[in-house]
Structure 1
Amino acid sequence: MKIVQKALLLILALAAGLALAAGTPAGTAITNQASASYIDSAGQPRTTQSNLVTTIVQQVYSFTIKPDGTESAPGQIRNALPGGQVLFNYVVTNTGNGTDTIALTTVQGTMDNFDLGNIRIYLDQNCNGNVDAGEPQVNSVTLAADQSACVIVAATIPAGAQSGQYGNLNLVGTSVGNSNVTDNDNWARAVASTAAALTAFKAASPSGTVQPGGTITYTISGSNTGGSPAHGFPVTVDSQSRTGILIEDTIPSGLVVRSMPTGSAGAGTVRLIYDDGTGWKTLVPGVLPLTGNGTIKIGMLIEGTGAFFPQGAGYTFSFQAEVPDSVPAGTSYPNTAVVRFDANGDGDADDPGETVSTNTTTNTVGAAYQPVVGYPGMVTLGNEVQTINTAYAGQTVSFTNVVRNDGNAPDSFNLSLQNSTFPPGTVCAIYASDGTTPLSGPVGPLAPGATQNVVVKCQLPASYFESPADGNTTTYQVVLWATSVNDPSKSDLTTNQVVDILPGYAVDLAARGFAGDNDPNNDNPPMQTANPGQTVYFPLEVYNAGQNPDVYNLTATLPMGWSVVFYPDADCDGTPDGAPITNTNLLNPGQKQCFVAAVSVPAGAAPGANPVAFRATSTTLPTVYDEVTSQVMVNTVAQVLLDPDRSGTVTSPGTITYTHTLINNSNAQATCSITATGGAYGWTYQYSWDGNTWYSLSDLPSQTLAPNGATRTLYVRVIVPAGEPVGRTDVNTVTANCVVNGVPATDTATETTTIVGGELRLEKSVDKSTAYPGETLTYTITAENIGTANLTKVIVSDPIPAYTTFVSVSVTISGFPAGATVLYSTNGTTWSPTAPSSVPTGGVVYVAVDTNGDNTITHADVMPPAAKITITLRVQVQ
């Protein structure tokens, strides 16, 4: 491209030294999504993902016309008789990134002797330099990105032109997509001559794309179209001087000539020759093969004396050249032959018009696209099977797969999961090599031979398992397909499979000290004795007998009117520790947790043995549970109870409501009022007997309860104002002050309220919704702690999208402790305060903040409330 007036294209041409040829195809969608991992205020690992942002690549208009030339120094010169036709050969190439139409026109010269007539432009479909029957006239060519077309400008010299006079003609191209993009320095010259004039045309078969290992057949042909016979000139062959017309061609570098060429002529004797740099020699089969290195020539000498080659006599010379198997796509083999003769009989070929160059043929090695996918250590074309022998229901199984470009050109690959035979409910997805960043868009581009790891993860349903395992090696499979973006007909597959899926969830509930011992005979806790209105405690423990972490709901089956509250037993001493619970902690396989079942016996309970049962049920798979049984031996004793103690967590600002049960287990009516001690920090406490009408403590009405288990529910609402620090705890002791037949009876319940908080918000934006190849996209990723508690080990990650090249990454932070340092990583484990200078396409940039100065990222690194990390990631569209 010689004239490009569009400022954007000038910028792109200078940016990063990128060539404009093709680039990322117009219309390509570049997508990107960030992710982050962190530990929340409750100590639980969390992940979050940003919104998905998309940029569409725009079209760049660019083309060339070759050969170049000015009017004073034309790129082509052709001789012909006055009134004869001349042919000028050109190649038009679309160097943009999308399809374009190039309009073609001609301009007559002003620094010459005459104007040419009968000007026509032909599409040279076989690029042989000659107008063949059926080849159409055109005034434009439509080309895809990187596509070329051969055109011929045919013109006639005026019949009255004098020998030696000439006329100049220019071929001008203009982009239809952008009329500011032109090419207008393609001047050629036609010279009127009555002397001998040999034409020279060159054809290559195939005429454009050739595959690695293919063969190109070159044919040079022409005839004497001048006004007199042609003479030979002296040529030294085999150290002897011979006279003739010389047709010579330099073998393109890398091509191999293995067979003898052929040739014929309408006059004279044909001799096949070659020049290896030491002079012309007769070519014989024993010399072959000849491998082109930029200097080795092959040719034909038409031997004869005097004016031996008459008007109208023709010639042809043909040879075959083999393309190496391993040559990269895009390798170009331009080739131009030369014909030398003596037009005026002066004994040399040094006069104007006596050396004729053919049109240039250009063969380009086509892209052979072939993805190969397998697994580490086994990546071949075909279906490799990667096997995991045993997995457990509810687990996530991971398969590392390797994608390799076995083509000869850069390529990207669409990945898909197909033909899954995993159980219904299994969710399989494809991730980057870190196993946490989801893949959006194709993998690549990958250079020939390059590889990229991806991870296929399948979340198995909790409820499916084999019992017993069958050892079948084909039941549970998912196929990973890799398909070439450039040639969707080329693909490869690999199979990831699990042999057996075993039960993943199991639980053992037993009396304290006996869970997990595989002996059901000692699981049931011993009988307890209680008075009416008394609470008895059953020390229990739950054991995760499965293969997956799990949480278990705690329930009980009790006599009518009885109640149970479960408490943690942190030190497994058989006594409650802390606030009530309704479920266990998250237990890893083989882990135990002690707890106490506090069973409240109603005041009116009849004496005797009462059966009780306790159950632990998986929250993941409710069909998995275990149960133990025992008894409570009841006596009758009058008393008043206010149960249970409660605890909870609340944000600031926030509200939490507790309920307590006031029970009259006496044998007479009880009149009760409520007092309390809460409100040490100015929090508001409100009380209600029905959950609808609320009172301050001093206004709360007293209640009268019938004997033998009559109950009232007491509601306590805690309203926490804004600004309370995370971790602050207020304990409210609620007391029921009752009178039974003049005798006082009291009971208390405690409410422990703790402030909690913490949440990470991740947002992403891109500065351009559309972009041209070579332009820079700026992604801004913002991670902010919008909660009220510290977060720890916050790591933000962002992949480098397909069709882009990493430029830079920078980070700003706010709200962190003094001395906090930004750290960078490209693998999520090795950290540096220096931002990476390069990250491969498909790679991931990780960012975190070191707050304890140990130059790595651990649970000790804190992100306070309102702290913010702002990442600026810049990539360039390929």
Structure 2
Amino acid sequence: MQTQAPTPTAPRVKRFFKQKNRGSAFWAVLVWALFWLHLAWAAPAGTVIRNQAAAIVNGQIYLSNEVETRVQAVCVPAMTPNGSLASPGQRTTAPAGGTAYFSYRLQNSGNQSFLFNLSWLQNGASWTPSAVRFYLDTNANAQLDPGEPEVSSLSLDMGQEAHLILAVQTPPSASGELLISPVATCPDGTRDEDNFSSIRIGSGPALSLVKSVDANPVRQNQTVGFTLRVQNLGSARAMGPVYVEDRLDIPGLNGLAYLAGSASTVKGRLEYFDGANWGSLEPTLVRGIRLVLDGLEVGEEAIFSFRMQVAADAAPGERVNLAQVSSSEGSAQTQASLQIAAEYAHALGPIGNPQAAGTADRQEAEVLAGQPYCFSHTLLNSGNAPDTYTLEALGLPSGVNLTYRTMGGGSLPTPITLAAGHSLDFQACVSALPPGTPAFEFSLLARSGSTGNADPTVDRVAQVWDLSQIVLFKSSSSGPTASPGQGVEYTLQVENPLPLTISNVQIEDTLDAHLEFLSASDGGVFDPGTRTVRWNLTLAARSTLTLRLRVRVSTAAPDNVTIVNRFSLRSAEIGNPLVSNSVTLRVQAAALLLEKRVEPRKVRVGDLLTYTLTVANVGQVPLTVRLEDTPDPHLQYHAGSASPAEPVLQNSRLIWENLTLAPGERMEIRYRMRVLAGAGSELKNTVQATGDSASGTAVASAVASAAVQVEQGVLAAPHLLMGRVFLDTNRDGLYTAGLDVPLPGARVILSNGWQALTDAEGRYSFRNLTGGVWEVMLEPASAPFPPLPHPEAQGAGYRHRVRVEGLTVSDFPLERPAGLAHAQRETTLEFGPLTLHKKLLPLPAGVRVVLVLESAEPLTDLTLTDPLPGGGERVFQFALFQGRQTLTYDLDSPRAPQLTDPQVRWRYP
């Protein structure tokens, strides 16, 4: 909520009434003052200022007696323009026996209507005017017009002003200079008489300049108009150029800026100053304005006006602007002053929201018993003048104290001094509360030292919670036994059922001497000196915090030693640490170590990975080991690649059983797996080893994993549609190599117009598609037989509706006519960098054997041995092989050809 001081022209009262909690278990009392602040020069005479206090008890309002103060009348005349003997406000030249004219403005700045008597005084000459008269300038044109009445006194209401013409008749014997000032006198004798103007006796031009403002005082964000009136009061024409200049970049106009496009004149031309030069075009930032005239005849006047904007952060106080008129024959200057009113306002509310109102201006907290709690607030000086503030707390229960702190925790000095527009964040801290303290609320007020106004905000302690409800629990991934060298993962859980957040929480776990630190989750840091793992965290309200700590049992840990471990929690709100349960592990001498490696570390779809499992019995008893490897679903075991023993495949898992290891013995197993399409960016493969003693009791286990990074390749291109057009012999909708017949040269058309012809294997593909639903069509003219039913088929089956996401396959199986079909047989051998393809092609008499070798790296002394079906073998040797090569030979075979498996070997230098 924000408070505002009464303004000079419209005194106001702002009531600060905020609804409190109506709970029947406690009383909430709020007392506030209702102030009507009236400055003597602003409040009308006779105004009554009333002050009354009020209190709210359980929703009922109780009022005190009223105190009244009556404002007395104050008369303040204000005659402008001002002028001194050293610096007259206006100047003119008049002949002896002639008349000089000056323009003035009289304003009633008092607080009721007053009658002002008009007179004059002189200084600076030995002669006295023949006559001095005052005329009412009814049209405010700064010159005496026919019919304008002569006056000797004026009655003006509060704030009312009148324009006057002072006519001074000089005697025939006058010479030199006369300084004369009009005088406005109040009924109580108060006078305004510092308004001197100069009359020089002689002939020639006399330039007179008057500047006025259309509002005074003004406020922030308000616009105010200035008018400059120049007149030739002499006896001859003022030769041009005549410059009427008003500089706007002076310190006296701080907080005011020229309002673009507001300058206007009826004669002459306007020029603008940009800080360096004068010009006729209005710049972005106007630092000065001047009116340029070609000359002024006797009695002629020229007027120009402009407006200025008061800045939102303009400081209160007087602003004075000096303007001047100059020509080659003389100059004159004048000034105008205005006041930027001081406005005192402030706001107090929750931190970051000092001007909150209603329910947003309340804070509620649930606190810990025995611990102080601090509500954070922001105090804002939203006025335009510096002010001081005191803090008050109303409604605190008996025995509860409130202290004020900086956000850094130090004591807050009071009263608080804030510059205009500045704010302060601070804490209001309630003293430690015992368990069972009922809920309560209190009002915190910030009271202005200038106005006495107070802005309240409400803080409420809704619940006082007992720390015993916070639960600490620790568990272990191993137990109740562990082997030397075995990794152990502890889980630390903190359950906070309380509806409040605990900040700056420190959790500590001191490790036993037989434990070696490996890692800690959530930023835990290990201190080797104290063997303590520490976490610095925030415990959210009604949450469960789970931390993980990985350690290893020392290889030097003696058999049957007991390891006990627990953790503690403390914070700024919790003075005495909370302690968890203890976790106990007993060291058992038998131990099994497992390591898993993979090469290469970066692969693409279709590549082969070589895994190496190393299992070691570091215990003291023989073990029968079982290995179970669980690969990623996008990995496929390469049959026959394992050594020294093939695994058993169960639900995609690889299992080796009955591996015997004597104490200190180790074993390595190598095998290969292929990366399948659809693999993510990382493939993780986990293996578990369990070891049993001769008695069948499980005495050791270990888990290891290996991960590789999958790079995007041509086989894993995003949003790729591919498929095959083939004659489906067994009508199962799936392509079976050697049985189904691929259809080359078939035309496949995508819905965006792309076309593809199937290759020799009946395959087509469309790459770099956007994900979503596509239609792909097989051109009927290129398909000799009709399509078979297909889940994606539309209409007659030549068109498929396919959702393409990643690698997507859509085949076109076609009916195959009855007839003789020959099967082609082939096999592929992959080992390390070498790939060998073997294919049998039927000939009119016999078969042709085709061997294709590919290697990505040089192979020394490569020997290829291909067994013949009827016995014997064909041998091919290469001293150094690299790249790709195709080998063929023919066999006479009256029967169906028999496919044999070739063998290769080479050596590394």
TM-score (norm 2): 0.33
| Larger-gyration structure (1/2) | 2
TM-score (norm 1): 0.34
